[in-house]
Amino acid sequence: MQFELYLTRAFEEAFHVGQKPVDADTVAGILAPDLDGLEARLTRNGYSVKLLTEMIAARSKDIRLFLSGRLPPERTQELHDQLLAAGVPL
């Protein structure tokens, strides 16, 4: 499912900029830098940012920062504990 998402994003970006055929640079710009990172693993298991925000009543900005590792440590621990309590496999 994740590969399908990346292909769709690459095709949409190429269409947006009028590129035909889609080149490797466009695809590389769309791909997540770490396909085994937390966000990629959660996405493969059906946990989108929207779903995570709904599960623990958090702001989507906080979830995005959490997934990218840029959230302050106290808030990171708080979200981590809430997600674990909600049954999210971290």
Q: Each residue's pLDDT tens digit in the chain (90 positions)?
A: 667 887 888 898 889 889 989 988 888 877 767 777 898 889 888 899 999 999 999 999 999 999 989 999 999 999 999 999 999 999
This model's pTM is above 0.75:
no
Residue 47: other Cβ atoms inside 10 A: 21
Residue 75 corresponds to which tokens in the numbers above?
């808030």
Rounded Cα–Cα distance for residues 45 and 18 (Å): 33
Contact (Cβ atoms closer than 8 angstroms) between residue 30 and residue 9: yes
